Structure 1
Amino acid sequence: MVEMDDINPRMDSVDVCVVIGANDVVNPAALDDESSPIYGMPIIETHRAKTVIVLKRSMNPGFAGIQNALFFAENARMYFGDAKASIQALVAEFKND
């Protein structure tokens, strides 16, 4: 865990960013979509990482009730399921290599 103000300036240098269950707080619409209800809200700029792995149960919108543009970004991969089980499965894959 890293504070938003500490990581955002370095996000371009992050190879892999894992987002667990977050939605609105990582939605790039807050930065670039003036029609979005979250426009102007500070976010963790995960979309700037080279690869983003998003662990979520579904594509359901967050508190703001809007789709997250991050989920459709070229550098993002969705990993659906229970976060604890998903992380355990990812760790097991790395241990098997």
Structure 2
Amino acid sequence: DINPTMQQVDIAIVLGANDVVNPIARTDNSPISGMPIIDVDKAKTVIVVKRSLSPGFAGIPNPLFAADNALMLFGDGKKVMQETVNAIKEA
């Protein structure tokens, strides 16, 4: 339901997801072609929190991670989010 409005989103935070946010799913000849995804790549800024750049279950790269509007934040998702919330509270 969010996809039609994703271009209006200022910041999308992706926490540990990979295949469900992989824009390659929109490509006809990809291994995950037609898989429902969340179009986070269409948000103005995407913050991706992951432990590493390793591929997801499908075993394919995710071009979202190298997109101009994406920032990669590596670490444990719970810890990173707790630190982020604390930093915002202190600001």
- Whether TM exceeds 0.5 here: the answer is yes
The yes-or-no answer on 1:11 pairing with 2:19 is: no
SS state at 1:64 partner: coil
Correspondence for 2:15: 20
In the comparison of the two structures, how many residue pairs are matched?
Answer: 91
Separation of aligned partners in 2, 1:60 and 1:93: 28
Distance apart, 1:35 and its partner CA: 3.0
Calculate percent identity across the aligned residue pairs.
Answer: 59
Aligned residue identity for 1:22: A
Letter of the 1:7 partner, please give it: I
- Pick from 13, 25, 33 the counterpart of residue 30 of structure 1: 25
What value does the CA root-mean-square deviation take over the aligned residues?
0.8
Gaps (5+ residues) in structure 1? 1-5
Structure 1 residues 18-97: aligned runs within 5 Å: 18-31=13-26, 33-97=27-91
**Distance of 2:59 and 2:28 partners within structure 1:** 16
Distance in structure 1 (CA, Å) of the matches to 2:29 and 2:55: 16
* Structure 2 CA distance for aligned equivalents of residues 50 and 20 of structure 1: 17
| Runs of 4+ off more than 2 Å | none
1:10 match: secondary structure: helix
Normalising by the residue count of structure 2, what TM-score does the alignment of the two structures yield?
Answer: 0.95
- For 1:3, the equivalent position in structure 2 comes to none
